[in-house]
Amino acid sequence: MKQRTLTIGLVILFVALAVSAQFGLVDRYIQSVIMLMGVNIILSASLNIINGYMGEFSCGHAAFMCVGAYVSSILSVLLFADNPFLGAPLLPAYLSVVLFPVVALIGGGVAAVSGLLVAIPSFKTRGDYLAIITIAANYIVISAVENLEVIGGPRGFMGMKQVVRAMDSVAKLPWMVIWVALGAWFSVFLIRRFVSSTYGKGAVAINQDEVAAEIMSINTNKIKVAAFMLSSGLAGVAGALFAHQYGYVNAQSFNILKSTECMVMVYLGGMGSLSGSVLSAVLFTLLLEVLRPLQIIKWVIVPLILILLMQFRPEGIMGNRELPDFFPWMRKFYRFK
């Protein structure tokens, strides 16, 4: 009953947000900030699975976001927009509303499979060595995409605005706001379930002592594969939403600086805190908007924030605690049958 009440409340929130955007109560700038918050919530929470709960050190999270963005963009343009591959779209516009979530999940699925590039080397390496591997994976993905002229190469890929217009032709609604809000809620819900599962407990055991976890008959390799694939897959979904929000995608949008942003959000909120990831994503997005007039100087301040965090508050805002630790009445929303 309590879980049903929470779900109904979230549905009412999404409907209110959609109606507000529809009738101009929320302008396009605020809508874009809200969508960026949702994307950042997915990125921060998904990276927290690896860097927080499992205690690994991944520095190339944007690579999987890139994979999801390109795969979903190419697929959606093929299906619902005029494209350079086949010319006319393969499916009628009215199906775009139904199939867009499927397209985003396919992008996330391909990103999850690409997460094996990091998961398998993690069997033998940890710490600094794994960080180097993830950075290398980030550069590998970007270089591969930039050398594929069929999808635009370094010029990038576009056409996703036509897909959004196809959804608008079915019903005049702020579709991307709705999809990002649903994607953020689904990601947080899925990660919470994962953390509460046997796999999540195994990931925390690996964080505490991997050798002791193996002695206690925990299949650490299996858990690492599951954690890396879930984290990468959700990053791919975030990339799909990001690409369709802006209608254009370029490989350099997912460089090492984007991965640094993800790490800043994780460490700002607190490693091993899902509530902290959500809170830090919201605060960090607002901070970026405040710093926007500074232009290039903003990208000096972002890494500086990470340095200051490591010096003065390495545990982040929430540490490894959740909201119920501060507000006990919220514990009922964290229980699962």
pLDDT value of residue 336: 46
For residues 328 and 280, the model is more confident at 280
pLDDT value of residue 180: 92
Residue ranges and CATH numbers for the domains of the chain are 2-332 (1.10.3470)
**Alpha-carbon gap, residue 304 to 306, rounded angstroms:** 5
pLDDT value of residue 257: 86
Q: How confident is the model at residue 7 (pLDDT cuts 50, 70, 90)?
A: low
pLDDT of 178 strictly over 50? yes
Q: Out of 48-62, 193-207, 242-256, 315-329, which region has the weakest mean confidence (pLDDT)? A: 315-329
| pLDDT tens per residue, range 120-131 | 887 777 777 888
pLDDT value of residue 296: 75
Total-model pTM: 0.89
pLDDT of 25 strictly over 70? no
For residues 6 and 206, the model is more confident at 206
231: closest CA among 68, 38, 33? 68
Q: How many CA atoms lie within 13 A of 137 on its CB side?
A: 28
Percent of the chain having pLDDT more than 70? Answer: 89
Radius of gyration of the chain measured on its C-alpha atoms: 20
Percent of the chain having pLDDT more than 90? Answer: 28
264: closest CA among 75, 61, 126? 61
Q: Out of 94-98, 150-154, 157-161, 298-302, which region has the weakest mean confidence (pLDDT)? A: 298-302
As a whole number, mean pLDDT of residues 147-159 equals 87
Secondary structure (DSSP) of 175-196? HHHHHHHHHHHHHHHHHHHHHH
pLDDT of 58 strictly over 60? yes
CA 55 to chain centre: 18
As a whole number, mean pLDDT of residues 166-171 equals 86
Task: Judge whether 58 and 65 are in contact, CB under 8 Å.
Answer: no
**Alpha-carbon gap, residue 160 to 128, rounded angstroms:** 38
pLDDT value of residue 106: 95
| pLDDT tens per residue, range 60-106 | 899 999 999 999 999 999 888 877 766 777 888 788 888 999 999 99
pLDDT of 2 strictly over 60? no
For residues 224 and 125, the model is more confident at 224
Task: Please report where in the chains the tokens 């594969």 appear, as a residue.
Answer: 225
| Residue 87 backbone dihedrals phi, psi, to 5 degrees | 85, -95
238: closest CA among 194, 292, 186, 165? 186
Q: How confident is the model at residue 18 (pLDDT cuts 50, 70, 90)?
A: low
| pLDDT tens per residue, range 289-299 | 888 887 778 77
Task: Judge whether 321 and 328 are in contact, CB under 8 Å.
Answer: no
pLDDT value of residue 210: 83
